[in-house]
């Protein structure tokens, strides 16, 4: 019940352990095609180029920037947490001219400040984290998309923690590049990173002035493996991880996306109620809280590291520490995918009460 990886359904573990097929086997290609289709549904997009990348969540971020950035490109990163900071780092290493618009951690991106910034300067890319895992904040992605509607700017969104636990509407919100990870609300082990590129982004990639400075993640090559009647070998993908994500997608679609999102919201509200009854506080204002990642302020006098240690050792339950400036001040409880169940909330609340009342 930490910030991820989350627990995994038995059906997905089972899928993971099926016989490894060749990467050009006709049956495996059917699996690839169904994974693409399932991801499109969950990501709310008709984008052709919608695939899992061969690595964990952060490779999605790397793939997004390395394909879209050319040396000297202007990138605006809206930063209110560790993963926004990571975007700044990733883009800077690629030679982008990065402007960082920072917001207090635990608060959302302020749409007025973004509008002001965009009225003064044009950017090639505007990037934001939808569900900031380090703080539990939901950023106003839909509203930022509206600001970019009539611009040439590419809108790049991190949906690592969001996808599968709350609506992600790539097409409706005008997102050009969106990536996620398998190990959060999709409830698959880490190792496959869904990503989608709009046709406009694909057109840019195919007409870059400079080659993508990363062979492994070059979407113009990967497309030939993922699309068309004749599949061209690029690299060997993580076959069994793709069985896992196939099954994980199936599980969500079978339960129904609305039902899944409601389940996340309900257990979140159950947890918040319990936390507040204990007299503890949530870090984030109600309106901007994520359902799947709950940042809880640890009261004065309670050693959060000792709390987490006892939860792990005595209750076999992992919760996460704060990161960066929030280290030592908060704990983070994940309610992601397979873990988002009322009995898990009851269990963790009871355990925290027992430990802190001693």
Binding site for a second copy (CB under 8 A): 2, 4-8, 13-14, 16-23, 25-26, 54-59, 61-62, 66, 86, 89-90, 92-95, 181, 183, 189-191, 211-216, 233, 235-241, 244, 312, 318, 323
Nearer to a second copy, 158 or 198 (CB): 158
DSSP collapsed to 3 states, 29-78? HHHHHHHHHHHHHHHCCCCCEEEEECCCHHHHHHHHHHHHCCCCCEEEEE
The pair of three-digit structure tokens given for residue 280, joined into one six-digit string: 């503890």
Instruction: Walk across the sheet containing 330-334 and list its strands.
Output: 281-282, 293-297, 330-334, 320-321
> Which ranges of 94-231 does DSSP label H, i.e. alpha helix?
111-120, 141-147, 199-206, 219-226
Shortest distance in whole angstroms from residue 2 CB to a second copy: 6
Shortest distance in whole angstroms from residue 343 CB to a second copy: 17
Nearer to a second copy, 25 or 37 (CB): 25
Shortest distance in whole angstroms from residue 210 CB to a second copy: 9
SS3 215: coil
Nearer to a second copy, 306 or 312 (CB): 312
Nearer to a second copy, 17 or 41 (CB): 17
Specify the pairing of strand 49-53 against strand 193-197: antiparallel
Q: How far apart are the first and last CA of the chain?
A: 22
Shortest distance in whole angstroms from residue 256 CB to a second copy: 24
Nearer to a second copy, 222 or 290 (CB): 222
Shortest distance in whole angstroms from residue 340 CB to a second copy: 16
Nearer to a second copy, 17 or 206 (CB): 17
The pair of three-digit structure tokens given for residue 226, joined into one six-digit string: 């993922």
Phi, psi of 128 (to 5 degrees): -150, 155
SS3 284: coil
Nearer to a second copy, 21 or 253 (CB): 21
Phi, psi of 78 (to 5 degrees): -90, 110
SS3 349: helix
Shortest distance in whole angstroms from residue 345 CB to a second copy: 19
Task: From residue 67, give the alpha-carbon distance in Å to each of 24, 96, 123, 137, 297.
Answer: 25, 12, 16, 27, 38
Shortest distance in whole angstroms from residue 116 CB to a second copy: 29
Nearer to a second copy, 90 or 163 (CB): 90
Nearer to a second copy, 173 or 226 (CB): 226
Q: Token pair 């569900």 is at which residue? A: 131
Rounded to the nearest 5 percent, the helix, strand and coil shares of the chain are 45, 15, 40
Query: What is the H or E stretch that residue 131 is in?
Result: strand 131-132
Shortest distance in whole angstroms from residue 82 CB to a second copy: 9
Closest by CA position to 2, among listed 282, 318, 307, 303: 318
Shortest distance in whole angstroms from residue 49 CB to a second copy: 19
């Amino acid at each position: 019940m930490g910030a991820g990886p989350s627990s995994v359904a038995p059906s997905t573990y089972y899928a993971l352990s099926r016989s490894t097929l060749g990467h050009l086997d006709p049956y495996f290609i059917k699996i690839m095609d169904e994974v693409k289709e399932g991801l499109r549904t969950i990501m709310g997009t008709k984008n052709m180029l919608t695939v899992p990348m061969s690595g964990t969540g952060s490779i999605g971020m790397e793939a997004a920037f390395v394909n879209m950035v050319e040396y000297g490109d202007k990138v605006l990163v809206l930063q209110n947490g560790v993963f926004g900071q990571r975007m700044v780092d990733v883009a800077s290493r690629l030679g982008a001219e990065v402007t960082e618009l920072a917001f207090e951690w635990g608060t959302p991106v302020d749409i007025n400040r973004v509008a002001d910034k965009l009225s003064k300067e044009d950017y090639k890319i505007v990037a934001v984290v939808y569900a900031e895992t380090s703080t539990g904040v939901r950023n106003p992605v839909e509203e930022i998309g509206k600001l970019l509607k009539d611009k040439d700017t590419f809108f790049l969104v991190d949906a690592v923690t969001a996808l599968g636990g709350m609506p992600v509407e790539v097409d409706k919100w005008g997102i050009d590049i969106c990536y996620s990870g398998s190990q959060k609300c999709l409830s698959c082990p880490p190792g496959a990173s869904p990503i989608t590129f709009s046709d406009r982004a694909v057109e840019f990639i195919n007409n870059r002035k400079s080659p993508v400075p990363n062979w492994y993640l070059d979407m113009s090559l990967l497309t030939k493996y993922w699309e068309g009647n004749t599949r061209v070998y690029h690299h060997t993908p993580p076959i069994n991880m793709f069985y896992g994500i196939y099954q994980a997608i199936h599980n969500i679609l079978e339960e129904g996306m609305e039902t899944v999102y409601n389940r996340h919201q309900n257990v979140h509200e159950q947890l918040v109620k319990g936390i507040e009854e204990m007299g503890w506080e949530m870090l984030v204002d109600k309106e901007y809280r994520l359902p799947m990642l709950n940042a809880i302020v640890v009261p004065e006098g309670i050693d959060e590291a000792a709390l987490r240690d006892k939860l792990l050792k005595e209750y076999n339950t992992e919760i996460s520490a704060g990161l960066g400036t929030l280290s030592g001040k908060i704990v983070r409880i994940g309610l992601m995918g397979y873990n988002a169940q009322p009995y898990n909330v009851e269990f963790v609340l009871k355990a925290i009460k027992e430990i802190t009342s001693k």
